[in-house]
Amino acid sequence: MHDHGPTGESRAADVKAVDRRDGPAATTAQESPGVSVAPLQRTRGTASRHQLMHLQRSVGNAAVVRFVQREDPPAPNNIEKLDELLGKLITPEDKIIELLGAINRSETEKRVVLTGYRNKLAKAFNVKQMKEGLKKLAPVELPVQLDWIEQAAVLVRAMSYDEISQSIKDAPQSERDMLKNNRWRDFLFKVCTDHTIITAVGDLHFDLATQLSWVREKAISLRLGLDELKPLLKSTPPPSAADLAAVGTDAWQPFWTGVCDNKQMAELVDILFPNDLAKKLEWMAAEGSDFDAVRAKITATPDEKQRLAIFDNGKCRSLALSVCTKSQISELVLDLGGDWTKWREWVKAKGAPLRDLGLAAVKRGIYADILKVKFLEWTTADEADTAYRRLVAMGDTDLAGLRLSPMPADVIKDKYGSDAEKVLRALNGEIAREEKRDDRDETLLSGPTTEPFKENKFGGDSRFVLSFWRDRVDVDVGVSLRAVDDRAKELLASASATWSGKITATWNQFELTNAHRTIPMNMKISFAGGPNAVKVHSGPWVWPNLNAGNWYVPDADLVPGQAETNAQAPVHEFGHLIGNQDEYQASAEHFVEYSGFDPSKPGRPASVTEETDSKGRKRYTDTGSIMGNSMGGAVLARHVDHIVRWVNENLRPGEPAFSQRPKAGPTAAPGGGGG
Amino acid sequence: VSAPGVAGGFPIRYVVHGGRPAVDLVLVVEADASYSIEVRTEQSLPQSPPLRLGRFAGRIEPDALQALVRVRARARVGNGGVAPFETISRLIGSGTGQLETVGPDDLDAVDVDNWLATTAVGALESPVAAVAVEAAAGDGSAEELVITAIGREPFRLVVFDPEQNTFPTIWRDLPGRPGTRAFVEYDVFERLASAGAIPVGVTELEPGESIRLPLPPAGAGQQESRGGFVFYQAGDGPARAAVSGTWSGALAS
């Protein structure tokens, strides 16, 4: 460092020490660092300021004086008078001050004084006298003034800002800006207290960031509050937008959170970010805030776009969740605007009931739709079953209108927990639902005709779900397939797809119709699991192994002769799974009960066969029915009669009874479980 | 083959019957290890065209016979309670005794079943009183179902018997909705019978003789030609056993 010369501060201190020790003759060209004097007004000759400075450095002040005196008109010799007065044993300060006034009338003499007499005068004057002297020399640039005053001070720290404030105030801004460096910052730190530094930077009219930096650095021990800093923030003229932006960066946030309490932060953000709601809330979040303060910021922001953007701001979300109670969060999100899809997430995150949000929207008139109002009233009081019934009782149009908003579904999920699914189904149009179980036995007439038929019982525990919707009837069958050998496991996926396709294509034959509507009856099978258990085998089956609970994978490679049979057999089993009985090897009474006709009478359908045993007993098979012939029989209206009956038992008031009829157009297979 | 001891004596009757696809098979094994096997449905034994139904003959292997004897020994009178839908019944009897139920988990019965499906199927080449059934071109573009007696004995059947309300069930699978079928109506058979084109009552179809029955006409634009049939084999007294299978053929262009 010393190779490059001392710093300005140390250099000035050194000079002053020398002055005090060696007297006026010891003054050097370095005695007034940072001095900037006005250009010399030459009347003759061509010596420039630079030349003068060079001369001063090389031959000293006296030579410069002689040079100037030689070149300028005859001097009044005030410099000699000044030297004389300064050389007196008792310094006549007043006379010197007076003389400085005279010197000021000659630019040449003033130049000589300003460039060579700082230390001499500082030794003679105290601060007050120096200020007087500088007045006589006015105008003198602000840094020069402060440098000379500093030199005059016995102890700079003993000075007060009041002693220099007027000089600062009186100086033009260009000269104040000369102080925006460490040299003068350190000087002011010595002169100012933690409080007067605020006044000082204010008087200096630096940019806001510099002002606050100096204050922050100086007033480290002071518990600064916004009130103290407000003069800087609300100065006249006010800080520019750029100034405010500079102290509104994230880097400044810790400073401000240290300065402000919650209330002050709310005030500060209006100053720093007058048109940025997100920034306001983010900084309030950093400091901590309360519901009223946050809400005030939101309601004071007319820009809807800004308010809506808050929903996507994680910091603001955290703030809202922390300052709001469960009842307040609804008010806050409504203040932000938007719609239910915006509101619900924050309310849910807070753990507040979504129903309360809906009610708050009603209270504000945001939800004026009577359907929503009524719905919210119900869900406030109703249990799930009651809510289900109310929704079922609603007219189609009203229900469709209610569903236009996501609000009802959300409220239902929120309020009814594990019972919500049921209520949601009603909201989505379900009218009735029943899990059906059919474990009836049937008696078939087994054995060859050469001997009396044997009555054997067959059955199964089939389970399916009927659901009657405003726009459809669904018949859902869940099957749990378990492959019992490696080949079956390998082919299970393709087999499932085959079975699913054939079952849905075969069974989706009917629709229901009445005077009001025509709705499809959708037969759906899922092999993804369910109450109906089936073992799946591979290889050639021998007769007893293929039945309702044991299916064989179609295997065109290894068992081509049975591939079609194995693919088709589950279509018949599906009929059992939805509650149908067999229509083969059955008595006439069985047919009367399950098929609705007596095959023993003349005129039986051409599809029905009749066998007779050795005792004359007859048994019948309907080869045209899927329940009588697993290899391609048809699904007939009687196979869905029980479903139609169930639907008609569950009609809404005013709904005419349905009857089934074949679906119009090509059969469409609705989505069923494949695997 | 020396016959093992069998409670009740020979013959042993082993019946496999029921279910869907339909199975109707009766195996009768004599003490000399000869057997006859009645096959009344297409799905009773694996076979390739022409479809053969009726009674066939063969000789049983010792292992299969011993398995059969063990099955007989374990069979019980009465049924096995409620069986799953489509369960095919296995019954066994010996001598003049009644048929008894074979337990569903009888492993020897499984061996017998496998023997039937893999070895006894060879008996189809030795018809006794049987028919071959297939579709064939008829007059013009029509197709017919042709039932031809094969074997060395007549095949007793009932094609049409108005007094017993007995008539064949013959159908064609139609395109469109799955399971859609066209059937030959009773009136058609009545007219054919009146015209003498089909026999009335029990008929003994001599080996080599045929009966031609009409098939339903094809649907418009139908490319595939297939369907099924049921007619009846006459038994003792009033017994009428359904004989069933499928047919297929190429439609005339």
Mean pLDDT (chain A) is: 87
In angstroms, what is the C-alpha Rg of chain B?
A: 20
Cis peptide before B50 (omega within 30 of 0): yes
pLDDT at A673: 29
Least confident of A445-449, A555-559, B138-142: B138-142
ipTM of the complex: 0.94
Q: What is the rounded distance in angstroms from the CA atom of residue A461 to the CA atom of residue A35?
A: 108
What strand order describes the sheet that includes B82-84?
Answer: A441-446, A454-459, B82-84
pLDDT at residue A25 greater than cutoff 50: no
Adjacent-strand bridge partners of B83? A458
Across-strand partners of B212?
B146
Average pLDDT score over residue span A588-598: 92
% of chain B residues with pLDDT over 90: 66
Provide the whole-model pTM.
0.75
Lowest mean pLDDT among A23-32, A222-231, A454-463, A539-548: A23-32
CB-nearest partner of A547 from B86, B178, B239: B86
Best mutation target, A443, A449, A451, A506, to test chain B (most B CBs within 10 A): A449
Query: What distance in Å separates the CA atoms of residue B213 and residue B145, rounded to the nearest whole number?
Result: 5
Angle between helices A142-152 and A182-191 (to 10 degrees): 50
Residue A24: its pLDDT value, please? 37
Flag if B84 and A549 touch (Cβ within 8 Å): yes
What size, in residues, is chain A? 675
Whole-Å CA distances, A588 to A27, A591, A604, A638: 140, 5, 11, 16
From chain B, the residues in CB contact with A623 under 8 A are 169, 171, 228, 230, 244
Contact criterion met (CB < 8 Å) for B240 and A451: no
The closest CB to that of A458, out of B85, B173, B239, belongs to B85
Handedness of CA A23, A27, A30, A32 (dihedral sign): positive
Tens of pLDDT, residue by residue over B106-120, are 889 989 999 998 888
Contact at 8 Å (CB) between B45 and B121? yes
**Residues facing residue B25 across a β-bridge:** B16, B39
pLDDT score recorded for residue A391: 95
3-class DSSP assignment, residue A86: helix
Q: Which residue has the higher pLDDT, A257 or A56?
A: A257
DSSP structural state of residue A462: E
Contact B85 A459 (CB under 8 A): yes
The answer to whether the Cβ–Cβ distance between A623 and B109 falls below 8 Å is: no
* Sequence-ordered list of residues with C-beta below 8 angstroms from that of A247, at least 6 positions apart, any chain: A208, A209, A212, A256, A272
Cross-strand bridge partners of residue B243: B231
CB B134, CB B144: distance < 8 Å: no
Q: How far is residue A309's CA from residue B205's CA, in Å, rounded to a whole number?
A: 92
* Band (A53; pLDDT cuts 50, 70, 90): low
In whole angstroms, give the CA distance from residue B65 to residue B60: 6
Chain A hits for B235, CB-CB cut-off 8 Å, are 449-450, 614
User: Which alpha helices (H) appear in A382-471, and where do they start and end?
Assistant: 384-393, 396-403, 407-416, 420-427
Contact call for residues A629 and A585 (beta carbons, < 8 A):
no
DSSP state of A365: T
Q: What gap in Å lies between CA A395 and CA A386, rounded to an integer?
A: 16
Contact B86 A573 (CB under 8 A): yes
Q: Please give the pLDDT value at position A610.
A: 96
Q: Of A450, A582, A605, which has the smallest distance from its Cβ to B239's Cβ?
A: A450
- Asked if B80 and A455 touch (Cβ cutoff 8 Å), the reply is no
pLDDT confidence band for B47 (50 / 70 / 90): confident
Residue of chain B nearest A633, judged by CA positions: B179
Q: Which of B6, B16, B4 is nearest to B104 (CA)?
A: B16
CB contact under 8 A, A634 and B177: yes
pLDDT, tens digit, 9 for 90 and up, residues A209-262: 999 999 988 887 667 788 888 889 988 888 899 999 999 999 999 989 988 999
Angstrom distances, CA of residue B60 to CA of B55, B71, B121: 15, 15, 12
- Does the beta-carbon distance from A565 to B43 stay under 8 Å? yes
For the segment B239-248, what is each residue's pLDDT rounded down to a tens digit?
A: 999 999 999 9
Name the residue among A401, A385, A657, A375 with its Cα closest to residue A513. A657
> What pLDDT was estimated at residue A283?
96
Check whether the bond before A76 is cis (ω within 30° of 0). no
**Chain A CB contacts of B98 below 8 Å:** 451
CB-CB under 8 Å, A616 with B240 = no
Is B45's pLDDT higher than 50?
A: yes
* Cβ atoms within 10 Å, residue A393: 13
Q: Which helix (H) or strand (E) holds A432?
A: strand A430-438
- A196-to-A10, A161, A163, A227 alpha-carbon distances in Å: 25, 7, 12, 14
Query: Which residues in chain B touch residue A540, judged by CB atoms under 8 angstroms apart?
Result: 46, 117
For the record, the structure tokens of A579 come out as: 């509650």
**Is B246 in Cβ contact with A546 (below 8 Å)?**
no
Looking at chain A, which residue has its C-alpha nearest residue B110?
A542
A472-483/A532-537 β-pairing: parallel
- Map tokens 């719609």 to a residue: A339
pLDDT at position A221 is 66
Among chain B residues, the shortest Cα distance to A616 is held by B238
Instruction: Tell which of B76, B87, B185 to mutate to test the A interface (max A CBs under 10 Å).
Output: B87
State how far the Cα of A447 lies from the Cα of A470, in Å rounded to an integer.
Answer: 48
Q: Which residues of A touch B117 (CB under 8 A)?
A: 540, 542
Side chain identity, residue B95: G
Which residues in chain A touch residue B237, judged by CB atoms under 8 angstroms apart?
A: 614, 616
Give the pLDDT confidence score for residue A7 in this predicted structure: 36
Residue from B3, B29, B1 nearest B15 by CA: B29
How does DSSP classify residue A431? E
Give Cα separations from B21 to A630, B17, B241 (angstroms). Answer: 6, 10, 16
Q: Do A447 and B89 touch (CB under 8 A)?
A: yes
Cross-chain CB nearest to A612 (options B21, B26, B238) = B238
- The answer to whether the CB atoms of B165 and A602 lie below 8 A apart is yes
Closest chain A C-alpha to B235 CA, distance in angstroms: 7
Which pLDDT belongs to residue A607? 95
Residue A156: both structure tokens together? 């700079």
* Closest by Cα among A369, A364, A333 to A348: A333
Contacts of B21 in chain A (CB under 8 A): 546, 565, 569, 630-631
Which of A450, A459, A542 lies at the smallest CB-CB distance from B82? A459
Name the residue of chain A whose CA is nearest to B216's CA.
A606
Question: How do B240-250 and B143-151 pair as beta strands?
Answer: unpaired
Which residues of chain B make contact with A629, given a CB cutoff of 8 A? 20, 228
Q: Do A606 and B242 count as a contact with CB atoms less than 8 A apart?
A: no
Contact yes or no for A449 and B173 at CB 8 A: no
Report pLDDT digits (tens) over A62-80. Answer: 555 555 555 555 455 899 9
Contacts of A561 in chain B (CB under 8 A): 46
3-class secondary structure per residue, chain B: CCCCCCCCCCCEEEEEEECCCCEEEEEEECCCCEEEEEECEHHHCCCCCCEEEEEEEEECCHHHHHHHHHHHHHCECCCCCEEECCCCEEEEEECCCCCEECCCCCHHHHHHHHHHHHCHHHHHHCEEEEEEEEEEECCCCCEEEEEEEEECCCEEEECEEHHHCECCEEEEECCCCCCCEEECCHHHHHHHHHCCCCCECEEEECCCCEEEEECCCCCCCCCEEEEEEEEEEECCCCCEEEEEEEEEEECCC
Burial class (CB in 10 A: 0-12, 13-18, 19+), A43: exposed
